[in-house]
Amino acid sequence: MNTTRIVALDERIADNDDRLFQRITQEFGDSFSASRCDISKFEPFLIQLFHSQVEDRIVIFRHRPSKTLLGCIRVLEGDENQKKQDDKKQGTETTVWEIMEAKGVYAGLIPAGCRFEAMYVELRLITKR
């Protein structure tokens, strides 16, 4: 099954919880119909690594007010502990999806077991209840 990974959003939807959850359910499935916002309003991040979780998550992101483009969101799968233990080898991580230097507001699926990096963006984070 081909799952949607990332979609562009209308900026007016991103700040309206009712419309946002309706769109997320439409794009990413009914499993997000009873969701909650872990980050309920947009928060700025310079550079932040978000660790993997056991549930799928949705990240809503946009550029920071002082910039015209967003920095980067990169979703990674792989064993972060192995990478820490083995200084000589690259970890066994794979980029699931990424978006860099783009305009607009986006919603992206962070699959269970994947971590993600946020650089020079504002974001909201949504998980299943």
Query: Which domains can be identified in the chain, with CATH numbers?
Result: 6-82+93-127 (2.60.120)
Amino acid 95: pLDDT: 92
How many helices and strands (H and E) does the chain possess? 3, 7
Q: State the Cα–Cα distance between residues 49 and 74, nearest whole angstrom.
A: 10
Amino acid 1: pLDDT: 42
Instruction: List residues bridging with 80 in a β-sheet.
Output: none
Match 């015209």 to its residue by tokens. Answer: 68
pLDDT by residue (tens digit) across 18-56? 888 889 889 988 888 766 777 778 999 999 999 999 999
Element (H, E) at 28: helix 17-28
Are the C-beta atoms of 126 and 24 separated by less than 8 Å? Answer: yes
Match 């978006």 to its residue by tokens. Answer: 99
Q: State the Cα–Cα distance between residues 106 and 111, nearest whole angstrom.
A: 16
pLDDT by residue (tens digit) across 60-112? 999 998 889 999 999 998 666 545 555 445 556 799 999 999 999 999 999 99
